[in-house]
């Protein structure tokens, strides 16, 4: 588990180091990238949720590692919502992302801040109660964006 988390973090960090424009030769590449980043984010966030909701045994080390992956992955997808990425490859992104860009950006920044300021410290605390306390509001941040900007 630790090796997988470290590899994931290393790959995500490497992706951040490359300028956004250089990463995508065509809009479909950006869509695939953001979908992949959101899949990684969702997988690790769901594991935290399973622990917080008693559906998975709580493990402090796993929670801390998952939260670290969520923190990195939460920063990745935003630049991949550029011009021309609203069409092409099948996507759950709604047109409102491009019509209400400022609101979309604000929601993303709020979620990243919630993860960094609340979720990660709670997960690293070793306390299931602290994880539970931080998970709910973080999930609400995610849901707010999904409600307005993601197709059902």
pLDDT, residue 21, reads 47
Stated pTM of the model: 0.84
- How wide is the angle at C-alpha 36 spanned by C-alphas 71 and 18, nearest 5°? 70
From 149, 137, 110, select the one nearest 52 (Cα to Cα): 137
- Domains of the chain, with CATH numbers? 2-12+23-149 (1.20.120.10)
pLDDT at position 90: 86
CA pair distance 19, 26, nearest whole angstrom: 15
First and final C-alpha spacing in the chain = 32
Instruction: Work out the number of other CB atoms within 10 angstroms of the CB of residue 113.
Output: 12
Helix H or strand E encompassing 14: helix 2-17
Beta-bridged to residue 93, according to DSSP, are 150
| Nearest Cα residue to 142 out of 43, 30, 45 | 45
Question: pLDDT truncated to tens, each residue of the chain (152 aa)?
Answer: 566 666 555 555 555 544 454 578 899 999 999 999 999 999 999 999 999 999 999 999 999 999 999 999 999 999 999 988 988 778 899 999 999 999 999 999 999 999 999 999 999 999 999 999 999 999 999 999 999 999 98
């Amino acid at each position: 588990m630790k090796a997988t988390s470290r590899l994931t973090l290393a790959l995500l960090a490497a992706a951040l180091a490359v300028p956004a424009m250089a990463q995508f030769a065509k809009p479909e590449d950006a869509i695939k990238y953001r979908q992949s980043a959101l899949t990684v984010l969702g997988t690790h966030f769901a594991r935290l949720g399973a622990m917080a909701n008693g559906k998975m045994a709580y493990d402090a080390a796993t929670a801390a590692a998952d939260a670290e992956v969520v923190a990195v992955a939460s920063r990745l997808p935003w630049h991949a919502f550029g011009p021309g990425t609203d069409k092409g490859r099948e996507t759950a992104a709604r047109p409102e992302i491009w019509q209400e860009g400022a609101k979309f950006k604000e929601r993303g920044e709020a979620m990243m801040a919630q993860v960094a300021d609340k979720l990660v410290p709670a997960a690293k605390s070793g306390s299931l109660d602290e994880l539970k306390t931080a998970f709910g509001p973080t999930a609400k941040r995610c849901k707010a964006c999904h409600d307005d900007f993601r197709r059902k």
